[in-house]
Structure 1
């Protein structure tokens, strides 16, 4: 009977690491240019995710400020149609905004001051929404590029962008997909 001296050698079976954890081997390792492309796209998508977060935050802030201006203008006697013309909001939304601020008192500002403030805040809000839309379009272009170059799949793109895999598929519908 053979005797065993010392420790047993570490044996690595196909699919198992020496630590006993499973190693995913379904894909071949990426080549160096593909790794570099993956790193660039991953970084660009992370930057766009952060830019979208900042844009959404700015839009929320501007919307809150504009809504407060709307409520104050309504409290000071501006008509719904005047405010609707200046801001571009529909009458029902304006009524809802006006009713949400029930603790306002008349400020005594003239009509022209309210109209000018509403025009300025509405223009800032529209500019912020256009900026967000541009970032979203660039993000979708990056997703299409990643799929065409076969750098990322739908699930990886979903995790990088913070979207659901279904949203990624809808956003990249019509683009050339890898076989």
Structure 2
């Protein structure tokens, strides 16, 4: 289970026991050229950037700052602006989901969770209506030679109930 909210949580379940981790503080690994540029901008003046710095409310603000050319907005206003079709806010949310998918794909490789990966958290749920499922699945499965392993790991979003994003290799089932 991993969740974007005020921070980025990460835990795994084994034989009925939950194990919390601090894995979200590991170094962010960009998946494409845009994310490389983001990392370069964020590393200016500091040695590293963690996944949590991008996949949280503050992370959404950092992503908006990056895609908007230096404008600042609180996360709630970015979400509202994206819902209203603002180009920079929409781009920030889309980038958030691609990075979250990359993170979740890494999680699938680290733990190989037979029961799937569960996405939780307030930011996750608030941005869920703006999720492009096909783009998410593409970024989630983009793991080179390990793609087939990731494709077999289901991803769910925990809301009031569980909304299924992806179920195995057959593709998207809603």
* TM-score in terms of structure 2 length: 0.32
Q: Which has the higher helix share?
A: 1
Larger Rg: 1
Which structure exhibits the higher relative contact order, with contacts defined as CA atoms closer than 8 Å and separated by 6 or more residues?
1
